[in-house]
Amino acid sequence: MGFFDNLDENLKDIRENLEFLSKKLLNESQDLKQAAKLKYEILNEKRILSDLYEKLGVHSYKLMKNENSDLDVEEIVKEIERHTSRVSSLEMGYEINKNINTDDISLIQDEEIKKDDEGEGSIIFIEDSDESK
C-alpha cells in the first residue's frame, strides 16, 4: 500500500506544480504584453521627438539661408521637453517592470530550492529490482 500512497502523493504534487506553472505562465504572458506595450509607446514617442527635431533643424537651416520660417520655436521646445519627459518615465516604467519580473523568478527559484531541501514536492521513482523480467 505504501507504493500507492507515495504515487497518490506524487500525483497530487504534480497537479499542484502544474497549476502553479499555468498561473505563472499566464502572469508572465501578461507581463510580456505590458512590456511590449511600453516598448511600443517608447518607440512612438522617440519617433515624435525625431520629427520635432527635424522641424527645428529645418527652421534653423532656413534662418541660416536668410529664408523665412513661421515655426513657433518656443512651442517646439515645449513639445520636445514634454515628449522627452514621457520617454524617460516610460523607460523607467519598463525597467521597473523588467526588474520585478526578474525578482519574481529568483523568488520562485528560492522557494523551489527550499522545497527540495525539505524533501517536499519531489517525485520518488521506485525501481523494480527484479532483473528476471
Q: Which CATH number is 63's domain given?
A: 1.10.287
Query: What pLDDT does residue 48 have?
Result: 96
Residue pLDDT, tens place only, 48-100: 999 999 999 999 999 999 999 889 999 999 999 999 999 999 999 888 877 76
**Does residue 130 form part of some domain?**
no
Number of folded domains that form the chain? 1
**Does residue 38 form part of some domain?**
yes
**Does residue 123 form part of some domain?**
no
Contacts of 59 (CB under 8 A, 6+ apart): 69, 71, 73, 76
Say if CB 69 and CB 59 are below 8 A apart. Answer: yes
**Does residue 115 form part of some domain?**
no
**Does residue 28 form part of some domain?**
yes
Query: What pLDDT does residue 101 have?
Result: 59
Residue-number span of the structural domain to which 67 is assigned: 2-107
**Does residue 94 form part of some domain?**
yes
**Does residue 83 form part of some domain?**
yes
**Does residue 114 form part of some domain?**
no
Closest Cα partner for 30 from 88, 121, 133, 101?
A: 101
CA distance 129 to 62: 90
Closest Cα partner for 15 from 123, 128, 131?
A: 123
